[in-house]
A and B are shown apart, each in its own frame.
Chain A
Amino acid sequence: MASTETFYEVMRRQGISRRSFLKYCSLTAAALGLAPSYAGRIAEAMETKPRTPVLWLHGLECTCCTESFIRSAHPLVQDVVLSMISLDYDDTLMAAAGHQAEAILEEIRERYRGNYILAVEGNPPLAQDGMSCIIGGRPFLDQLQEVAADCKAVIAWGSCASWGCVQAARPNPTRATPVHEVIRDKPVIKVPGCPPIAEVMTGVITYMLAFDRLPPLDRQGRPLMFYGQRIHDKCYRRPHFDAGQFVESWDDEGARKGYCLYKMGCKGPTTYNACSTVRWNDGVSFPIQSGHGCIGCSERDFWDKDSFYEHVTDTHVFGIEANADRVGLAAAGTVGAAIGAHAVASALHRTKQRDQAQHEEREE
């Protein structure tokens, strides 16, 4: 593993032809939404730049991000990116194990100080001294902080690393904490989703490796090219929403005709992700296409936002759980009744006062 080896050299060593390499460059440019001229720039960067190692750590997680990643639709992307990074450290994918594996971490830290990318899948639990997630006999938090100290940038894979996800859902017994709240002195790129789309993951990594800089990010640190719009904005069922054609129950005519799932609680209108454009499994489908609403898995604390099947979901505040429409209707009804009662009481009171006044006048 010579430190001067370029991406191109790594690929050629993997048996990839120059023609395939150029195809990969143009595909990557297209996937990232770049102009065709960028294909050449990607190729040049890959031929001349020494490759950047990627370390892939696993904290409190379910490995669904890795499962998604290795199913990246285009075989070239999979081969290339996977072979580039699995050479280093990913405890699910690498051949090494035990002390040998942990030694790789040390080696990369030493040799590529300040020049490697740290990808984190899952998050560190902070409660009970981090005992809920032990890697190599030590809390994951220690490993994460050590490796992050010398990295160039951190990629937070999936909703666990980005927001906390299911293990951080109320009441979060292990105090599972998203990566950006633990690593504060390095840029953290969030690639949320449970899991994120494979092409999105390879796209983000390729961008960072090829251009040697962070992809453009939104306010919350998500790559704009994949998280700049909501699923609703590009959903193929959107015309049915605009027309007012909805699925009202799972087995109705609308469901068969593929109407909008808004009334079934689809979170497409509140979820930033690329599912409706990139789709899943080589563009085969995505949840809405299969007839089920989006559950908003790439949004912050989506487990705690109540029903996946209601549009007006319950609000949790001050330990109370309440639905705006139910409370609102009840309040309006109560106030209406109170107004009616008060109006009657006012009229009676006024009559009584007037009678009394007349009575007093007569007495005078």
Chain B
Amino acid sequence: MLPDVPTVKQTAVYVYQAPVRVWHWVNALSILVLAVTGYLIGAPPPTLSGEASAHYLMGDIRFLHFAAAYVFAVGFLFRIYWALVGNAYSRQLFSLPFWRRRFWRELVHELRWYAFLEREPCKYIGHNPLAHLFMVAIITVGGLVMIVTGFALYAEQTGLGSWQDELFGWVIPWVGQSQDVRMWHHWGMWVIVVFVMLHVYTAIREDIMSRQSLISTMISGWRMFKDDRP
């Protein structure tokens, strides 16, 4: 249970612990590298001339992709660990109050706020319901899908019997064939790109228009409230 929004005057709450904040920015950077290099693996840059031995462009692009993928995957595991030992807000990424009526009521309120139908947004210490839903769907579920499909494709080159193959090799026959897994992994990239656009926009907008701090919270960890009304 998350504590209720305080009704008495309280200007700041410590929400994001240091490991969560570090993870957020490392994760953001790895997603940026993964999306750019991933796109280039699907649509490589214009051909290079000269001897093949003089270049290693695709090799480098793929190396960056795999290196960033390991950062993303290890970060994901760490984030699960931190959800177990961290504060209540660190668990939001892995739990959705699906059966709680209030969650859906507030979600509708948040949607109406974005449609300019509400005068004022509600205050939240953790994620607002809309953000919460998107985080769980895209970062947790989406991230897991990308890790599983990504390692399945990676296992194709580490070879049969490698630990990547032992753990994720079943994915390719399960989905169909290698090309299918590639395409789903590619679709996943576009879903994440669209999410990042929305995430950055809403973070900036909320920081300006909502009743609480957003961007500075992911830097300092403290949620500041702009007023004392409930």
Contacts and interface: CB of A to CB of B under 8 A. Distances in A.
Contact of B190 (A324, A336, A342): A324
A254 B47 CA distance: 8
B177 interface: yes
Interface string B207-226: 00100000000000000000
Contacts of A332: 190, 193-194, 197
Contact of A229 (B55, B119, B159, B193): B159
Q: What DSSP secondary structure best describes chain A's contact surface?
A: helix
A243 B57 contact: yes
Interface residues of B, number: 46
A219 B180 CA distance: 17
Interface in A7-39: none
B187 A228 contact: no
Contacts of A299: 177-179
B201 A312 contact: no
B209 A350 contact: yes
A271 interface: yes
A359 to B, nearest CB: 15
A311 B169 contact: no
B56 interface: yes
A210 B150 CA distance: 40
A313 B173 contact: no
Given A224-B160, A254-B47, A270-B182, A242 B56 contact: yes
Interface string A86-112: 000000000000000000000000000
Q: What DSSP secondary structure best describes chain B's contact surface?
A: helix
Contacts of B58: 241-244
B222 to A, nearest CB: 25
A324 B190 CA distance: 8
Contact of B187 (A263, A272, A328): A328
Given A262-B44, A312-B43, A343-B201, A270 B179 contact: yes
A331 B190 contact: yes
A207 B78 CA distance: 48
Contacts of B182: 270
A218 to B, nearest CB: 6
Interface string B33-70: 00000000011111111001111111101000000000
Interface of A: 218-220, 224, 228-230, 233, 239-248, 253-254, 259, 262-263, 267, 269-272, 296, 299-302, 305, 311-313, 315, 324-325, 327-328, 331-332, 335-336, 339, 342-343, 345-346, 349-350, 353
18 contacts: A220-B173, A228-B160, A233-B157, A243-B55, A244-B48, A246-B44, A254-B47, A263-B47, A270-B182, A296-B177, A300-B177, A324-B189, A328-B187, A328-B190, A332-B193, A332-B197, A343-B201, A343-B205
Interface of B: 42-49, 52-59, 61, 114, 116, 119, 156-157, 159-160, 169-170, 173, 176-180, 182-184, 186-187, 189-190, 193-194, 197-198, 201, 205, 209
Report, nearest first, the 6 A-B pairs whose CB atoms are least far apart: A328-B190, A244-B57, A270-B178, A243-B55, A243-B52, A270-B179
